[in-house]
A and B are shown apart, each in its own frame.
Chain A
Amino acid sequence: MAVSSPSSTTVPAARTSRPQRKGKSLTGWAYAAPTALFVGLFFLVPTLLVLQMSVSDWGLFTGNRGLNAPENFTAAVQAPLFWPAVRFTLLYTVITTVILLALALGLAMLVQESTRWSAVLRTSFLLPSALGLASASLLFYALYSPQASPLPGLLSLVGIDIGRISFLGTPGAALTSTVVLIVWRFAGFYMLLLLVGLQGIPGEVYEAARMDGAKPLQIFRLITVPLLRSSLALCTILCVTGSLLAFDQFYILTKGGPDNSTVTIVQLVYNAAFQGQNDLGRAAALSIIVLAALVVLNVLQFRGLRGKEN
């Protein structure tokens, strides 16, 4: 192929001969194959199987005993704990998302400037993220235990008497205590994502704003937040998705209690599959409902993001 002008280099594929194109195409497929295989084997096929499960009478020990649609879905929705679990999961999602994002942004701005202490602070904030969620939940279980907790003793050393607080004993306390755990565990992680976004904002923009006499709050509202939109959107999607799928922390800290006040939708899936009911069909139906809700929510979030960008 002769290269005679700059314009001809901009469309090389159009002038590639058929055998060359075929070769490139094969190379492309070869690169994509491992990922495609992985996605196919560990996402698409299982998703199809879950779909099949969700319309089948499928026991944990007994396997598929035939079609059971739409009973699995109606039974899942009519279960006494379904709507309370949906309401609680949404409430938990809103609370954690708002607190986590606000705190993570605050932390990111705190350590944005490279100072002597910023590296230490960044590491300190990020450290809890290195701990698995189940391990972190167990750690907090011990912290909240009225018998084993070192908190009252430690606080009494500095003159604070918290007495016999039941950290998990009432619905409000259980929710608050779990949110504290999640904020502790994830704030550093979201801080890191937002920090990357913050550092992508050119310093000149801030300088120009300052020269124009903008006040810190105005700079935050009119420059930082708009230019950080992509990072904030990513954090929101991750946070909302993670919160809607909450399970470990409640399973370990509260077992859905007290009085079923902290049962999440994923705990219902677990209960249906492995807690006595042993009904994989109903569990799969619930999973499909959760999946559908997540897909709709994520599509809406992406659309909102794109709309604003446009």
Chain B
Amino acid sequence: MRGTKRGPLRGTLAAVAAATLVVGLAACGSGSGGAGGGDQTASISGPSGSDDGADLTLWTRAPLELQAKALVEAYNASHENHVELTVVPNDDYVTKVGAAAGSGGLPDLFAADIVYTPNWTSQGLFKDITSNIDQLPSAGSINEGHLKAGTYEGKEYVLPFVEDLSVMMWNKELYREAGLDPDKGPTTLAEFKEQAEAVQKLGKPDTYGTYFGGNCGGCTVFTWFPMIWASGQDVLNDDGTQSLLNSDTAKQVYSTWHDLQAAGAIAPGSRDETGATWTGAFQKGQIGVMPYPATLLSTVSKTVDVGVAPIPGVEGGGSTFVGGDGIGISKDSEKADQAWNFLSWLMSDDAQVGVLAANGTTPSRTDLAQNKYTADDPRQATINEIAGAADSKTPFAPNFQTAFNATGSPWITLVRDQVYSDDPGDLDAQNEAITAALAD
């Protein structure tokens, strides 16, 4: 690794430093982290590493706690190695990883929000596991979007950990009341708008046509990008340095939401929704139709009779944002052999079907889209198939967070201008601001 090795005390002091100056802001480590990925190859013996009773550490963020716990419990029950899971609050995760990376204290395995993975692989936080991935029997069927996000300068660092997809969901009961076919969700953007407006026209108290995270960059990329992809258009260039969010297709997506807002069909909470409660109203049965996280299907089904379909484009088609987390072996791990044993097991049928599919989560392998659990619920089969569709993607950009997810990002400015303003301003300039953030 490049960079200068420094002691743990220095890292601790650096961490205390920023916290001292600015109330409660956690800080970070100093400099053993190496800039630039690709200069550390994991030396792993055999296709499945070692299962020799070693203790491994694994970090994940809170939204994946359910799946991570299930995976770790299943692995520990069937292997000599023992994985100790640490679940970190979502907002603290980058801070914690940053501090650990700086002081050489990363766990053996850790997951990363897949859209941040390009940044983290380029910073050299993971070990190169290209040859190991190539040797996996399932190598050809692992989700391509996640693999691409984990590839830096031709080397692979990350496998899919848990996939989180966005799909169109609608409330069948409200559809019946509105005179819509409860078994048919929207197949085009125009139908999405019509159906949302039809539910709104019911005039039921606290019930609205649709909802979205109007002050949440992550929510809107998750739910709006698939509308553009399904229309055959891309949102970024291949290396993630240029924004293409001023296309005619993108304009039609924005105008759809603008018209819904003008018609009063978007729940008022959307306007200041920071993402903390963006799934709540639909779960309470107050929303007709909206793009929604597929991982919440089992949860939302407890309170709402839900229909599921791919997110449509302008003229049809179907797509999803293949989000969730990728996982790799950290640069600091001294147990790469054993860590790879966990990763190779993670790609096995036992983990993908026996744990993930059994818990209502989409498998990361396209060849397992149909499995014994999808027979019980065709909606889950629909979700799994969307994950492998040609127009379903994981966006790739090293500066994704700055451009899209960060508070006050240029993407959020664009979204709010386009939806809430009667004079939405210069879209080309708003798009250029995103490009500038991507290149920063």
Contacts and interface: CB of A to CB of B under 8 A. Distances in A.
B20 A46 contact: yes
Interface in B252-277: 267-269, 271-272, 274-277
A304 interface: no
A275 B401 contact: yes
B94 A62 contact: no
B119 interface: yes
Given A47-B17, A255-B274, A290 B269 contact: no
Contact of B269 (A41, A147, A174, A275): A147
Given A62-B34, A277-B440, A280-B18, A257 B412 contact: yes
A183 B369 CA distance: 54
B407 A255 contact: yes
Contacts of B440: 277
Interface of B is mostly: loop
A264 to B, nearest CB: 11
A73 interface: no
Nearest to A64: B31
Nearest to A62: B35
B406 A271 contact: yes
Nearest to B102: A63
A147 B283 CA distance: 11
Contacts of A278: 94, 98, 119
A257 B407 contact: yes
B235 to A, nearest CB: 17
B402 interface: yes
Contact of A254 (B24, B274, B277): B274
B16 A42 contact: yes
A62 B267 contact: no
A225 interface: no
B381 interface: no
B208 to A, nearest CB: 9
B23 A280 contact: no
Contacts, number: 189
Interface string A150-187: 00000000000000101111000010000000000000
Contact of A141 (B24, B101, B276): B276
Contacts of B160: none
A108 interface: no
A148 B277 contact: yes
Contacts of B28: 60, 273, 280
Interface in B1-54: 3-4, 6, 13-14, 16-25, 27-35
A61 B18 contact: no
Given A42-B16, A283-B18, A247 B98 contact: no
Given A147-B281, A247-B25, A64 B123 contact: no
A169 to B, nearest CB: 4
Given A166-B268, A257-B408, A290-B22, A61 B120 contact: yes
A53 interface: yes
B215 interface: yes
Contacts of B94: 60, 274-275, 278
A276 B405 contact: yes
Given A61-B125, A63-B3, A63-B6, A47 B416 contact: no
A60 B21 CA distance: 17
Nearest to A291: B21
Contact of B286 (A59, A147, A167): A147
A146 interface: yes
Nearest to B93: A274
Contacts of B119: 276, 278
Contacts of A273: 18, 25, 27-28
A42 B31 contact: no
A207 interface: no
B280 interface: yes
A53 B15 CA distance: 11
Given A147-B286, A276-B402, A254 B95 contact: no
A131 interface: no
A227 interface: no
Interface string B102-122: 100000000000000001100
A284 B17 CA distance: 9
Nearest to A45: B13
Contacts of B35: 59, 61-62, 65
A61 B272 contact: no
Contact of A266 (B22, B124, B125, B406): B22
Given A169-B272, A255-B215, A63 B30 contact: yes
Interface in A110-156: 141, 144-148
B333 interface: no
Given A61-B101, A270-B25, A47 B20 contact: yes
Nearest to A268: B408
B25 A147 contact: no
B283 to A, nearest CB: 10
A245 interface: yes
A80 to B, nearest CB: 9
Contact of B95 (A81, A245, A263, A274): A274
B399 interface: yes
Given A254-B272, A256-B407, A63 B4 contact: yes
A252 B407 CA distance: 11
Contacts of A255: 215-216, 274-275, 407-408
Nearest to B287: A147
Contacts of B405: 275-276
A287 B18 contact: yes
B284 interface: yes
B138 interface: no
Interface in A215-257: 245, 247-248, 251-257
A148 B273 CA distance: 12
A233 to B, nearest CB: 21
Contact of A46 (B17, B101, B267, B399): B17
Nearest to B5: A63
Contact of B25 (A253, A254, A257, A266): A266
B85 to A, nearest CB: 23
A277 B281 CA distance: 33
A46 B215 contact: no
B413 interface: yes
A46 B16 contact: yes
A78 B125 CA distance: 31
A276 B22 contact: no
12 contacts: A53-B14, A61-B35, A63-B29, A81-B408, A147-B267, A148-B277, A168-B272, A245-B23, A256-B407, A256-B408, A280-B18, A284-B17
Interface of A: 41-43, 45-47, 49-50, 53, 58-65, 81, 141, 144-148, 164, 166-169, 174, 245, 247-248, 251-260, 263, 266-267, 269-271, 273-278, 280, 283-284, 287-288, 290-291
For the complex of A and B, list the 3 residue pairs with the smallest distance between their C-beta atoms, beginning with the closest.
Answer: A63-B31, A276-B402, A276-B401
